[in-house]
């Protein structure tokens, strides 16, 4: 990103950089979906919590894929609680 003077800035708003190839994300939402939704949600793992919430975890290729997944959750009327990029342990 550049500012009005043409100088480069490092603001990425918490999204992976456009040249990063994506990353692993944890998406926390209010509501439950069963494992059969995993394919529709780009293969993300579905972990149901006892409090009526769930955590989706998996690799998301880039910002467009992340927005696509978030839009799918929105269309299912699930309340978004948090989105976090997580580092994979080697």
Which class is 23-86 in CATH? alpha beta
Confidence band for 22, pLDDT divided at 50, 70 and 90? confident
What pLDDT is attached to residue 36?
81
> What element of type H or E holds 72?
helix 63-75
CA 16 – CA 65 distance, rounded (Å): 11
Question: Domain residues of the chain, as ranges?
Answer: 23-86
Residue-level pLDDT at 70: 94
pLDDT of residue 38: 80
pLDDT tier, 5 (very low <50, low <70, confident <90, very high otherwise):
low
* pLDDT per residue as tens digits for the range 46-57: 999 999 999 999
pTM: 0.72
């Amino acid at each position: 990103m550049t500012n009005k003077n043409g100088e480069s800035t490092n603001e990425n708003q918490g999204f992976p950089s456009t040249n990063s190839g994506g990353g692993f994300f944890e998406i926390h939402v209010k509501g439950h979906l069963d494992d059969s939704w995993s394919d529709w949600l780009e293969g993300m793992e579905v972990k149901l919590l006892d409090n009526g919430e769930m955590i989706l975890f998996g690799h998301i290729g880039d910002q467009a894929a992340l927005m696509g997944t978030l839009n799918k959750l929105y269309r299912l009327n699930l309340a978004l609680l948090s989105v976090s990029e997580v580092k994979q342990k080697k």
